[in-house]
Structure formats: C-alpha cells, structure tokens
Amino acid sequence: MYMMFFGSSVLLLVAMAVLWSIYPFRRGRWLLWINVVLFVGWCLVTFIAARSIGWEFVRQIFGMLMPMVFSPFVLLFLFAKRVNWMRIVKRYAVIVSWLAVFMIVFQIPAFPTFATYVLCFGVPILFFFLLYVWEKWLAGKWKRGWIAFGSVILVVAFIFGSLLMNATALNASGDDMVMDWGGGKDSGMKSELDVTKLAGPKETAVTERFQFTAATKKMKVPDGSTKELWLFNGQMTGPAIHVKQGDVVEVTLTNENIKDGVTIHWHGYDVPNAEDGVPDISQKAVAIGESYTYRFKADTVGTFWYHSHSQSSEQVGHGLFGSLIVDPKTKPDDELDMVAFVAPKYIDNDGALISSDEWPKQLLKDTKIRLRLTNAHNKPQKIVLNGVPFKVAAIDGNEVNQPTNVEGKYVQIPAGGRVDLTFVMPNNAVRIFDAKDESGGWVFQSERKSAAPSKEIPDEAFQRESYGTKMNSGLDVSKGFDREFTMVFDSKLAFFDGMVHHLWTINGKLYPNTPMLMVSEGDLVKTTFVNRSYSHHPMHLHGHKMLVLTRNGKATTGSPWWTDTLNIAPGETYEVAFKADNPGIWMDHCHNLDHATNGMMMHLQYDNVYTPFSGHTHE
C-alpha cells in the first residue's frame, strides 16, 4: 500500500506539473479543472493509504507538500480578475509544481530538518516574490529567452547542489550523533568495560580448531564464467564449521592478500563482544600478512553463518562467507543434513543455490532431509520446494514449536536470514530452487525416476507470524519495557563517485550520525521498525535475538518468532523485544549490505562499555 501511495503521488504530481506548464500558453478552463480533479485524486489516495497503513507513512509527504501544491489554486481564485497578477500566478504554478515533484522524489525525509521546511514553505514564497519583481520592473528589459534559460540553469543547479549536499553526510565525523536512551533513565557513560575484555573462553578450553586463510582466487561461478573471488581457504562457500553443542570453537584467520583487511562475524550467534568481528568496534581489521584468533562456546543449536564484516558489501559479495552449524549433543542418525546458500549477486545475480558439499541427486524413499538454507544475497529471496509437502522447522537457528506441513507456498528468506526446511523424500522427484534462478535449482530423484517437478512459483507466501503452536517465549513483556526505541527507514538521493546513488536513512540520519541506542545490562527493550522507503530492509542486530511481537499492528499468534535478521518490507511496521543481556557495542544495520554502506547502520551500546578503537566502523 505504501508503494501504491508513493507511486501514485509521484504520477499525480508530475501530471499536475505538466498541465501547469501548458496552462500559461493554452487558454482553457479544462486544464485547470483537470488539475483540480488530479489534486482531489491525490487527497483521496492519501486518505485511503492513511486508513490502510497509518498516518505515519503519509504525514510527511502530504503534510509538507499539500500547501505548496494547493497554493496555485488559492492564488488563481484570489487574483482571477487581475491580469498582471494572473501572469505571475501562472508562472508561479509552473515553478512550485515541479518543485513539489523534486521534493517528493529527492528530499522529503521521515524527520524533516529546518532546511526541508525552508524548501517546502520558504522557497515558494521567495519564487513568488522574484516573479513579482520580474513582472513589475524587469519584464520589459530582459529578453524572455534569457530569462527562461537562466531559470532552467537555476533549477538544475539547485537540484545538483542538493544532491552534492546529501553526499557530504556520508563523510560526517559523527559529532552530530545523539545518544537515544529510549525514554528510560539516562545513566550516563560509566566506561568501565573495554570491549577487548569481553572475550571468549581461554585457549585451554578449545575442543575444535580451524585455520582460515583469506585470499583471492579465480574460479568458475554458476553461470559458467570465470571471476576473481575472495575466499576462505580457496573454497566457495568457505569451510563448513559443523560442531556439537558445548564445543569450544577456535578459528585463526590469516589474511593473505585481501587489501582492505578482513574479519569474521558470526552472523546470528551471540558471541562475546570481542569475538564479534566488527572492525574499529571490537577489533582492528586483519591486514595483509596478519592473523587474528576468535574463540567462542557453541552453546546454541541451529543454522548460522559467518562472513567478513570489513567492507562487507564487497567482501561478502565476492565470497568471504561460510556455514556455521551447531548440532544438539544427541542428533537423529537417520536425518540427512544439506547446507546451501543463495549466492550473492556478484557470484550469481539470479540467486543460484551453491554449497561446499556435493549432494546425491538420487535419494531413497522415506529419507528424512533437513535443508539448511542461508541467503547471502542482498535482497530477500523466494525459495520454492515443489513435489513434496515440507515443514519450516527453524528460522534463524530457532526451532519452530510443532510445525505443520506447508504446500503451495513459497518461503521468503531475508538477506542474511536462514531457514531450515524438513521433508520426507517421496517416491517422486523433488525440486528446490530460487524463484529468480532460471536454471531450475536442484532436482532430487527417488528410486523410481519420474519427470522433474515444475518450476511453477506459488502466488502465496508462507506467513511466519501465524505458523506453529503458541508456547511460552521465555521473555515476559507483560510488565512493560525499560526502554522503547523507534527506527524509521527512509531514503534520499546523492551525487558522488560520478553518479547518482540512493542513501538510506534511519530517523532521517545517515551513519555515523544515526542515533546510538543506549541500554543498561538487564534492560527489557522494545524496538519499533517503520519502513517509509520503497525497498526491503532486513535489519540485523548483532549479539542478541529479537522476539517479534507484532506485524503491522497485529500480534503474532504462532510459535514464538525469535530472529536476528528481520525483513521489513515497504510500508510495514514491526514491534520486537529483546533482553539486554550481552554487554558490548553492537551493530544494528540493514543486511542489504549496499544499504549499510550507504548509511543504514547504527549501534546498540551498553552504558558501561567503551571501545579503544575509533568507534566508527568502515563499511
């Protein structure tokens, strides 16, 4: 609905601007009346959107632009019988209508600044004054052609200057960053704990050791072409870390030739802060020729993954990632584990499934299969399993209570998210594929070979919020929260590196000026996500698991929905809760890693923790 409102608003305002541009040269009330109809249509679209998704999603666009868009009608009515003033109003209508188009496309943020108010309310008044000056004193002295040419140059310079100004925010020092205490007690910074002291177990406790070397390597990718990839131990995907609950894991990382440095982040695994792998927060990036050792206890069962967090948009995209699987101490022997990734866009833009293992393409009937899927792509992916009913056994490493069979639905995995699908091999072929992958994914045949299942993509999506059986979540939210935060996602355009880019904002700010969420250990925290942009934002909180409370105002009704990577689609609102029980300074960012690079990240900081590093991670 939000995209309908935004797209309709842009189209209606452009149509009005075109008609206002014709109006000074073509006499006819029909042009004026068409614009009246378009304006009423815009008001109606806004009303429908506000009723459907809430005033929060439309208030800034409509509230800031409506006076500007409506003002030509008012002025035409006031000066209907004064010829000289009518000429001014017609020219004014052309200028402000295109200014409104510019503002809705480029400049209306979720949290307007003083400059935004000046653009929406001050600039139209200034233009009207300048048009009056021109009509009264300059119209007979300057040729209209030069006036028109100068006006075009002025508008282009205004737009280009705005785009350049937006780009400067990415190079900010972070001095404008504010500490958000979420309505709770401002306890001040105690600075008692250095993040480097929040480390994993000692070396003597290690039970599983791994050696990783990060280096470049040319190899074939799924489409058959050869590309230079950046890999751990020369493998695509990286070496699988498959351990049992209770193991103490040690991974020593050596950087052979990755020029910007490399780290390892344990995505979804709540390790101590010093082991989190975020450069300039919990460690320095591992430079060429250097090594770094991570240690943590594998106390949580499930499907997780690891990846570099230094220049992660580029490094994950080039292949620096792998799987982390923690089995329970006693695991069923008759279940076949399959681990796969949706490839990142540089390796395969169509979402091919890749794995470090070779799986048999023929399976015995009644074989129990657990398919562990991780999305390493930047965008949410539709996963389709045709030919057999299946269960969604776990999401982001968290088991679903009493899952039921799913048929005729696709499962959407957010960027960075994981899903475990379980099924029993039938006496016919089964196909698992990404909806964008035209190659058709993987086909598994039974003993009785049959025609491969179709590549048909179901229309209906699997709905997590109502799936499984309700049970005690283990997190008591009945007595309220110690802190409550709201994060509103939006976008704007900027010009840098020779082209126009999208920047992605949180509460109107770009990193490093995004707010710092401040908590004390033991706090019960609620966060509200509001997506006012036109893109999906899979928000990933390091070091903690979030319990989803509501989606678009409706409470979840199924098995408790625990997650570390939550996809917020355009126009959606989520409420989540978590316990602040893992001290440190933790990233909270969009896992469309291009979005994180262009501003959409922030930190969650405990009030008694500090970092000896720069404090601003370089993404």
Known binding positions for Cu cation: 267, 307
Rounded distance, CA 590 to CA 307, Å? 15
Rounded distance, CA 371 to CA 431, Å? 12
Which residues belong to the annotated binding site?
Answer: 267, 307
Rounded distance, CA 540 to CA 591, Å? 6
Tokens of 201: 């177990």
Quote the distance between the C-alpha of residue 446 and its chain's center: 39
Handedness of CA 502, 506, 510, 512 (dihedral sign): negative
Rounded distance, CA 471 to CA 557, Å? 10
Question: SS3 of 167, please?
Answer: helix
Tell me which DSSP letter residue 386 carries.
E
- Give the contacts of 303 (CB within 8 A, at least 6 positions apart): 323, 325, 339, 372, 374, 394, 396, 397, 418, 420
Amino acid letter, residue 111: F
Tokens of 110: 């979720």
Rounded distance, CA 578 to CA 601, Å? 18
505's enclosing H/E stretch is: strand 499-506
**How many C-beta atoms surround the C-beta of residue 618 within 10 A?**
12
**How many C-beta atoms surround the C-beta of residue 144 within 10 A?**
8
- The interaxial angle of helices 59-78 and 2-22, nearest 10 deg, is 20
Rounded distance, CA 321 to CA 229, Å? 11
The closest alpha carbon to 415, from 506, 342, 323, 324, belongs to 342
Tokens of 279: 């450069």
CA dihedral 169, 175, 180, 181 (to 10 degrees): 170
User: What is the greatest pairwise CA distance in the chain?
Assistant: 92
Rounded distance, CA 113 to CA 490, Å? 14
What is the CA angle 312-315-318, rounded to 5? 140
Tokens of 491: 């976008």
The closest alpha carbon to 292, from 207, 217, 208, 196, belongs to 196
Quote the distance between the C-alpha of residue 129 and its chain's center: 43
Rounded distance, CA 370 to CA 393, Å? 8
Rounded distance, CA 11 to CA 564, Å? 37
The closest alpha carbon to 421, from 406, 436, 408, belongs to 406
Q: Are 172 and 512 contacting, i.e. CB atoms less than 8 angstroms apart?
A: yes
Long-range residue pairs from 41-46, CB within 8 A, at least 24 positions apart, any chain: 41/12, 42/8, 42/9, 42/12, 42/13, 42/69, 45/4, 45/5, 45/8, 45/9, 45/12, 46/5, 46/9
